[in-house]
Structure 1
Amino acid sequence: MGTVVDSGKKEANGSSLSEKKVTVVFVLGGPGSGKGTQCTNIVEHFGYTHLSAGDLLRAEKESGSENGTMIQNMIKEGKIVPSEVTIKLLQRAMQANNNDKFLIDGFPRNEENRAAFESVTGIEPEFVLFFDCSEVVMERRLLGRNQGRADDNIDTIRKRFKVYMESTLPVIEYYNSKGKVRKIDAEKPVEEVFEAVKSVFTPLHEKVA
């Protein structure tokens, strides 16, 4: 299970995240690697709660808060939002949920994110699910989807690729050195990708059961 250490930090409702024994799986891969689709499948088949760091940040951005304005500017520039902002949003979402199994999608984005998450929450991931996909395929997918997102224009997409290559790959390398990375070929058809994902989650699911 993901290790939880009591950090002594409590939210306003009086409950501490460390009082919940949780299993966390980080889901990483470049923009357009298909993480969201596969997370939906994992939720349906294995009962995890899916927390998308990007969705939480976008929701905060749209809330009109002071943090929201800062987040909007950073996303527009393709930059990484400060760790403490994203971690607070993740903590809030995990505490508000009765589940004890979480997929954290699109986080940690860099080494500083990773170290801060483990330090603040006291949680290490059970493993990292890494969707390996070439930049050419990811760019084609992003340009082809029609979700009306302002951050899906070609310039911003390439900024996001650059940030991903420079910042997120070292996180994957760190966890790989600890034997915690499960790499999935994300260029295959969706059904084949999920078959590979199932082979990763089924043993863990059976062990817990």
Structure 2
Amino acid sequence: MSSAEINSGSENGTMIDTIIKEGKIVPSEITVKLLQEAIIKGGNDKFIIDGFPRNEENRALFESVINISPEFVLFFDCSEEEMERRLLGRNQGRSDDNIETIRKRFKVFVESSLPVIEYYESKGMVKKIDVTKPIPEVFEDVKAIFYPYGLKFNNT
């Protein structure tokens, strides 16, 4: 969603790109507006939102504006050391794949995003997956979580 907006060259896209490069979180009003537009355009009654909410303000605004609470929250559990190794090794040419920005993102996650996970965990809504396991095992764990919700996976 954010990448599509960034690639559009819009004023919002330029601002989002700058914020991401600084390792910060995009303002809730912008993210919720983009999510609302995507949900309406999608026309489905079920959808997956990746990487959101990132902080308590995101969560509260999304739930009040969109008036939706998640069925569950999928949390990929991984150590900072492993995430750093993977991000530096993914070689996607992203401007935010450098050690300084990655470490800023870790700090933001611990300070802002982890409390959101803890909030949903207190409501019994978090489903954790240990992603340090081999990819095929992680994929099987993900499929097992989504299977009861009717989501089908193509193994190709």
Give the TM-score normalised by the residue count of structure 1. 0.69
Q: Within 5 A, what are the aligned runs for 1:1-209?
A: 56-205=1-150
Q: Which residue pairs with 1:32 in the alignment?
A: none
CA shift for structure 1 position 62:
2.8
Change (3 A) 1:95 1:144: same
Letter in 1 for 2:7: E
Letter in 1 for 2:141: A
Deviates more, 1:60-69 or 1:95-104: 60-69
Shift of 1:68: 2.0
Deviation at 1:65, TM superposition (A): 2.1
Shift of 1:154: 1.0
Aligned residues: 151
Give unpaired runs (5+ residues) of structure 1: 1-55
SS of the residue aligned with 1:184?
Answer: strand
Partner of 2:154: none
CA distance in 2, matches of 1:59, 1:195: 29
Show structure 2 runs of 5+ residues with no match: 152-156
Identity across the alignment (%): 72
Report which of the two has the higher share of strand: 1
Instruction: Note the aligned Cα RMSD (angstroms).
Output: 1.4
The code of the aligned residue for 2:88 comes to L
